[in-house]
Each structure stands twice: as C-alpha cells, then as structure tokens.
Structure 1
Amino acid sequence: MWGIVFLLIGILGFLIYWLGNRKLGRLLFVAYIARAAAALIHQYVFILPAGCCDAFRFEANAWQWSQYSGDVFLELFNPSSSYVISWLGALLYSVFGRDMLLLQMFNVFLGTITVYVVYKIADEFLEQRYAYIAAWLFALHPTVIEHSAVFLREVQVILFLSLGILYFVKWLKTNRSLFVVNSFLFTILSSFFHGGMVFGILVMAIVVGGVILSRYLRALETTRVKKGTFLTTAVVTVGIVVLSMQGLPELSTVGDLSRLLAAEQAADAAGTAVENRAHGGAAYLTGMAPGNPLDIIWQAPIRVVYFLFSPFPWDISSITHLKGFIDSGFLIYISYIMWKYRRELWANDIFRYLFYILLLYVFVFSYGTSNFGSAIRHKSKFMPIIVMFYGLKQYHWRKE
C-alpha cells in the first residue's frame, strides 16, 4: 500500500517540478517514470535479473531487523558489513510496515535525485547542451534504471559518489575548503555501502595536495596565500592526523584497508578476491590470479579490458548477457570519444582529474571482479563519471 502511495506522490511531485522548470523537470520526470515502471514490472510482472539474490537477502534482513528497537537496532548499523542498506530498509519497515514496493520506491526516488546531481556536475564545467545530454545518458542507461528499481545498494553508492564528485569539481573551480570537506564526506558515505568506493578519496587527496602545493609555490612570488588554500591545508592536515591516530578503517567488501598498504598483502588480497569471484557461466580469466606484486602490474591491462568491455560477442548466451553487451558498446563509444579528444582531455584540469579517479576505480574493481555479470553491476557505479566524458564532443564544434 505505502509503495503505491509514495509512487503517486513522486509522480505528482516531479510533475509539479516539470511545470516550473521545463527542461530539467522533463528530464527528472522521465527518469522517475522509467525507474518507477521498472519497479512495478519487478514487483508485479517478473523479477528483474538484478532483483534476485542480493536484493532478496537485503530485504529479508530489513524485515528481520525492523523487529528490533533501541540499542539493539542501533548496533546493527555496521559500515564494515554489506548490510547498511538493510538497516535503512528496516528503518522504513519499522515506520510503515513490510511492503517490498516501498523499498523499491525509496531507491527509485534516490535514483532520480542522482540524475539531478549528475546534471549539476556536468553543468559546472560543460556547455549546457552537453550537460543535458550527459544527464540524459545517465538517466536512460538500462543498467542504472534497473538498479534503481530494485532493493540494491548501488543507488546509494552512486548517489553519494556523485555528490562527492560534484563538490570536488566545485572545489576545483572555487578553492572553497568547505567543498573539499563535503567531497570527502560524501565519498566516505558511499564507501559505507561498498568499501571499494573509498579509493576515490586517494585520488582526490593527491589532487588536492598537488593543487595546494602549486598554489603555495606561486605564493612565494606574491608573498600572499589565499584564504581558501590555507583552510584547505588545515582540513587535509586534520584528516591526516585523525587517520594516523585512529588507523585505517575496515569496510564492507574490502575489509581491513591497512593490509593493502603492504605490496605482498595487497597481492594476496587481490588474488583471493579474483579466485572467490571466478565462478558461474559468466566467469572470465579463470586461473589467472595474481600471486605477487609483479602479477598485479602485468595482469592489470588484461583485467581492465575484460572488466570494461565484456561480455564479448562470443560470450552471449542469454538476454542478460545481451544487456551487458549493449552496456559494453556504450563504454566502447565513450572510450572512443576519450581517445579522439585525448589532447583536450589532458589539457582540461577537471576532465583530467575525473579520468584519474575513474582509472583508479576501474583498476581496483577489475581485481574484485571475475565474471561479467558482476562487472555489469559494478560498472554502473561509475556511470556518473563516465557520462561526463561525452562532453568532450563540445570541442568538436568549437574547432568547426
């Protein structure tokens, strides 16, 4: 019942927004309808491929946990596990009662809000035409829609990563220290739902450190340090001090981050992850697991290619595989754009830094994935970054 109620509230809300903001409102309304329709199909017609297994387990835990209250319920919130989304679902169930469509509509709403955030990212540094196209590509991406229609944690991962990227881009443009704080916080929140997302902070921190250093070097000539640069330095320093005192955390899927600092332990962790996930008819590169740091280096290009572009035509044996093939085709197209405009990408700070973040994510997840079924799911996490590179096409028209 409550699922239908919130479905109708969402339709009315986004329709009203459309009346006040024609272009962006239409984008959000269509995005919402597409996700809501997929949710209704999943609930009443047939189970979507992404809506089984993990989604069922997350929902079952949410119902069970909703029976608890007080301190016991609070203790169930554990970012080092994979069930933070179940805790949120339990919170909804404790208020409204058990209704699986309600949890789906929760994700439908968050997925639609993410479309808005993706547009805001693109609007920060792309021409408006290309900002809208990037947002539409994200809004209508089949895998992203499917994950927004079922009770999976991908929606929360993508939303918080998108917010982290938005504030990172804002900081690059304005040098306001608050944006750095927001960027790190939202990326950390993303890692609560999937620990691998924390690696984005590594690139962000390196970029922030490099930019700050260059600004201090320029300040030697003018003997003036801008307030934003000083405040950002303070923020980064405090973060380093806290980490040195508390140690690196343990996160879901990734586990104890401190073990990844040693090359041998990192290779062992990568090898274990590869072997554990190389199963089923969609498995690839079976038997090729890294055993030492050198293996990680030489295997990386192969694993990245399989992660990004599988399933290949000869791998297709079902409708689900065909969906993955379409997804890979889209990535091939974006990769072509990135290659064609590689000089423009390299010359633009924002594009270049987004590429660094995407590259690290792809590298890390290529070692945490050994079948193209999981790869399809994981690649959707980075779609807010990937669609930004469509904006490189704006340089074509400038050249004309």
Structure 2
Amino acid sequence: MAIAPDFHARATVLADAWRGGQFLTPMPDLAPEMSKHNEMRTLVAYLLAPFYVLLGDSPIAGRIAIATYATGLGYVTWLLAREIGLDTPWSLLAVAVTTFWPSVIYRSVVLMREILVVVPVLIAIWIAVWWAESPTDMRRLAGGGMLLLVVARLLWALRPETLLIIGIAFVVATGVRYHEYTRALAAVAVVGVVGVIGAVTQLGAFIGPRNDDGLSPATLDAYAHVRAHGGSAYLTWLHYDTWIDVVLFAPLKVLYFLAAPMPWDVNSVIDLLAGMSGWLLLSVCLLAAYGAWRLFRAHPHSLPPSASVLVAFLTAGILAYSIIEMNGGAAFRRRIQFVPVIILLAVVGLSAVRRRLSTGNAPSTTDIA
C-alpha cells in the first residue's frame, strides 16, 4: 500500500476508535490487518486523526490537516527572519516566498509527512539561533529546552537522521555562543567528538539497517543505491569505493540534490514542474550565498551567531542528504526542509543589493558571485 493511502487508512481507523470511546487502545490492536505498525506511521495517524473526527473520513480531512500544520512553517520562518535581523517588510517577503514556494505549497496539501518534518526542523534551528546569540535567561532557556525535547521526539519518529544535522547546528551555536571562553570551547569540542563517535557507531538507529560496517564508503554506497530505483533515479553509475570518491563526487551530488530532475531527465509534465522548482532553487542559492557572505562581512572580527548556525545547518544537511540520495523524487521531497533557510538568506542578500542600489553603490558582478 502506498504511504499516502496508508496514512489515510490509519487516521480513519483511529478516528473511528475515538468516536467509539477507545482512546487508549494501541494502533496494532485497532488495525491488526495493517502491516508496518511502526512509530512514524502511528504518530502521523495521531496527528491527522483529530481532523478526521471533526471533518469525516474523506481524504480531504487529511489534506486539511497537513495544510493546517503547514501554517506553522510560515510562522517559524517569521520568527527566524526577525531573529536574524530582517525588518518587517523583508520578513513578510521571506514568509510569503517560503509559503508559496512550489514544492512547499504542493507538499502542504498532500497526505505525506514532509511538512510534518519541516516544521519541527525549522523550530529546532530557530532555537539554535537564539541560543547562539541570546544572553542567558533561565525562563527562556527552560522553555526552549522543553520545546526542543518535544521537537526531537517528533523527529526521532518522523525522520531520525535530521537529528544528526540539528546536532551539528547546536554544536556550532554553542561554539559561537562561548567563543570567548577557552574551557567552554574545549568542552564543546569534546561533546562534538563524542557525538560524532556515537553517531558513527550507532548509525543504524538513524539511517536504517544497511550499515553493518558502520560509517564507510561501502555503507554510503549501499544506502544510496538502494534509493536509486524507478524512473527518477539519477547518477546510477556512481559508486563510492573510497573516501576520496565521496569527496570528489560531492559537488555533483549536491547539484543533483538541489536541482533534480535535470532538464535531460525530464520525461513528463510532473518531471518538468519538479525540475523547474529545483532549477529555481539552485538560482536562489546564489543569492543566498551572497546574503550569507554579507552577514559574515558585517562581523569581520567574530562569527555572526545567526549566520553561523544557518550556514552550518545548510552545509551539513544538504551535503549529508546529497551524498546518500540518488532519487529525484526523494530529493524533491527532502530538500523542502532547507527551502525556508535558503530563502531567508536570499532575502538578506536581496535586501543588501537593494540598499546598495538605493545608495548608488551597485554591487558588482564579482560581489554577487
């Protein structure tokens, strides 16, 4: 059974049980005939079921549920925009572009889990940004910590590998926050090293069971080629035999992850629309790179907290997913979680270009590049 009908079926079963007063019965007992009773599918059912109770058993109820959760994406984008210093008009622009980005708006009305992943990921990055730049406030720290625990628990069920990327962002945020304290930096380095060792030795908990050899080129190659199936597979000739292969092919894999399907791989109208979204995103990445450069240039003697966290998140996340992805459809879905941050940095770049134009000091082609 395809995953979208599976989500619908589970939510319907759960909604029927709640209408009958069965609030505590586990999902496997409610629907023993359904296969794959894993935590991700059960969590999605619980997130969708309230809408089925209110609106009936039509799949439209599930779509409305996803669309409702998608409104949180615009709100968190607004919070992040204000956190990095964008004023109200530019913040609203970032929210509008993110909300109506083609892949985002499409995934906001289908019975899939991408939006349910993107919103908590963005919340975690927002917490990392204010942790990097805010003075110690015990009340806010406690609230942020509790919210982060909830987000981490959701992501552990929905897409656990994202926790590795978020962990890197928090290590960078902590390093920037305590950059003036040598002992604190040493402690951050130790925690980071221990975390990397733990992630490598327990890789199966995050990316699946195809990692008997731990983190190795063979593991990455096996995982990538398991995903290289169907008509949307790309670069199927590529194999990782050594770590040098992983490094050398990384730029090409990043290009495909952000822009797939490529023009020469387009075989249908759906491929064309998905490709146009990717090609547009690749173009926006150039403006985002300029925006990140402007943020770093504004702090010539120190690392800017917000920019450091956002760039660390994008670099680690896009690189990690690019290396293990060889499916255009999956790339289209998974890159959605990076779209809001890319757009935020692009808006920073656009605002910088506008300021320079308004003062008669237009940026050169070299500056923008």
Q: Same fold (TM over 0.5)?
A: yes
For 1:393, the aligned partner's letter is L
Aligned to 2:363: none
| Identity, % of aligned positions | 22
Q: How does 1:163-242 map to 2 (within 5 A)?
A: 163-176=123-136, 177-178=141-142, 181=145, 184-185=148-149, 186-217=151-182
Question: Residue by residue, what CA displacement relative to the aligned partner does 1:44-92 show, whole Å, maximum 9, x if unpaired?
Answer: xxxxxxxx93212221233345566435239999875455313433465
Which structure's residues are more often helix, by fraction?
A: 1
Aligned to 2:334: 378
Alpha-carbon distance in structure 1 between the residues aligned to 2:49 and 2:220: 33
Aligned-pair CA distance for 1:95: 7.2
- Going from structure 1 to structure 2, the CA distance change for 1:290 and 1:81 (only over 3 Å counts) comes to farther
Q: Find 2:235's aligned residue among 262, 279, 285.
A: 285
Alpha-carbon distance in structure 2 between the residues aligned to 1:261 and 1:63: 41
Alpha-carbon distance in structure 1 between the residues aligned to 2:144 and 2:283: 32
For 2:71, the aligned partner's letter is T
Q: Is the 8 A contact 1:263 1:293 kept in 2?
A: no
Aligned-pair CA distance for 1:291: 3.9
Alpha-carbon distance in structure 1 between the residues aligned to 2:286 and 2:80: 22
- TM (normalized to structure 2)? 0.75
Of stretches 180-189 and 328-337 in structure 1, the one that deviates more from structure 2 is 180-189
- Going from structure 1 to structure 2, the CA distance change for 1:80 and 1:103 (only over 3 Å counts) comes to closer
Q: Is the 8 A contact 1:188 1:198 kept in 2?
A: no
Aligned to 1:60: 9
Q: How does 1:19-168 map to 2 (within 5 A)?
A: 53-64=2-13, 69=22, 70-73=24-27, 81=40, 83-90=42-49, 93=52, 98-125=57-84, 126-168=86-128
Aligned-pair CA distance for 1:342: 5.3
Aligned to 2:351: 394
Alpha-carbon distance in structure 1 between the residues aligned to 2:146 and 2:166: 12
Q: Is the 8 A contact 1:166 1:183 kept in 2?
A: no
- TM (normalized to structure 1)? 0.70
Q: Is the 8 A contact 1:172 1:350 kept in 2?
A: yes
- Going from structure 1 to structure 2, the CA distance change for 1:213 and 1:173 (only over 3 Å counts) comes to closer
Alpha-carbon distance in structure 2 between the residues aligned to 1:93 and 1:75: 19
Alpha-carbon distance in structure 1 between the residues aligned to 2:212 and 2:178: 27
Structure 1, unpaired ranges of 5+: 1-51, 221-228
Q: Find 1:336's aligned residue among 265, 274, 286.
A: 286
For 2:220, the aligned partner's letter is A
For 1:371, the aligned partner's letter is N
Q: How many matched pairs? A: 327
Of stretches 85-94 and 104-113 in structure 1, the one that deviates more from structure 2 is 85-94
Alpha-carbon distance in structure 1 between the residues aligned to 2:285 and 2:219: 29
- Going from structure 1 to structure 2, the CA distance change for 1:79 and 1:122 (only over 3 Å counts) comes to farther
- Going from structure 1 to structure 2, the CA distance change for 1:268 and 1:261 (only over 3 Å counts) comes to closer
Alpha-carbon distance in structure 1 between the residues aligned to 2:48 and 2:9: 10
Aligned-pair CA distance for 1:138: 0.7
Alpha-carbon distance in structure 1 between the residues aligned to 2:281 and 2:95: 16
Alpha-carbon distance in structure 2 between the residues aligned to 1:342 and 1:94: 45
Q: Is the 8 A contact 2:224 2:324 kept in 1?
A: yes
2:253 maps to 1:299: no
Aligned-pair CA distance for 1:249: 8.9
Q: Is the 8 A contact 2:73 2:119 kept in 1?
A: yes
Structure 2, unpaired ranges of 5+: 31-35, 298-303, 360-369
Alpha-carbon distance in structure 1 between the residues aligned to 2:270 and 2:9: 25
State the SS of the aligned residue for 1:287: coil
Cα RMSD over matched residues? 3.6
Question: Residue by residue, what CA displacement relative to the aligned partner does 1:182-227 show, whole Å, maximum 9, x if unpaired?
Answer: 574325523421122112222223213413542424xx9xxxxxxx
